[in-house]
Amino acid sequence: MLTITHSHVWVFDLDEAIDFYVGTLGFEIATDVDLEFMRWVTVQAPGQPERQVLLELTAPPSLDPGSAETVRDLVSKGATGFALGLTTDDCRGTYEALRAKGVEFVEEPTERFYGIDCAIRDPFGNQIRITEPAPPPAAGG
C-alpha cells in the first residue's frame, strides 16, 4: 500500500511562503535544510508529520529559467488549479479569523452537499480550499 507523505506548492519566495503558511495559516515548519543546490522547506499541520507540503521555489534546480517564468506567470494568475485542500471544524470561524489577517478569499463560505467550504489564494496565487466536512449520514437512515 502506498501513502502520501509529501506534496508541493509553487512559491516565489521561501521566507514570504513561511510567513504565510506558518505565520498566517498556523502550520509548523517540518524541515528547513540548506542542501547547497536548494533550500528544502516543508510545512505540516500541527502534530501531523506524516503529511508535509514542500514550499518549492519556481527556480532551478526544479525548473529551468524559461519554465520558471512560465510557471510563475500561471501561478500568479491562479491558472494552475487546485493546489491544496485543508479541513477545519468551523469554516465560517476560520474564514473570519483569516480575513482579519488579510488573507485573500476568492470564495466565501458556501454550504455544499459535502460540507461548508471557501477558497483562498496564497500570496503567490495558489488556490487553496478550506472545508468543514458535513457530518456522516446516520446509520440505518
Asked whether the predicted pLDDT for residue 115 surpasses 90, the reply is yes
Which helix H or strand E contains 116, and what residues bound it?
A: strand 115-121
Spell out the domains of the chain, with CATH numbers in brackets: 6-133 (3.10.180.10)
CA dihedral 53→59→60→62, nearest 10 degrees, is 40
In the block, residue with C-alpha cell 488579510: 102
pLDDT at residue 139, rounded to an integer: 72
In tens, the pLDDT along 34-88 reads: 999 999 999 999 999 999 999 999 999 999 999 999 999 999 999 999 999 999 9
CA separation for the pair 116, 129 (Å, rounded): 10
pTM for the predicted model, two decimal places: 0.92
pLDDT at residue 140, rounded to an integer: 64
**Residue 128 — pLDDT band, cuts 50, 70, 90?**
very high
Sign of the alpha-carbon torsion through 82, 83, 86, 90: negative
pLDDT at residue 141, rounded to an integer: 54
Asked whether the predicted pLDDT for residue 137 surpasses 90, the reply is no
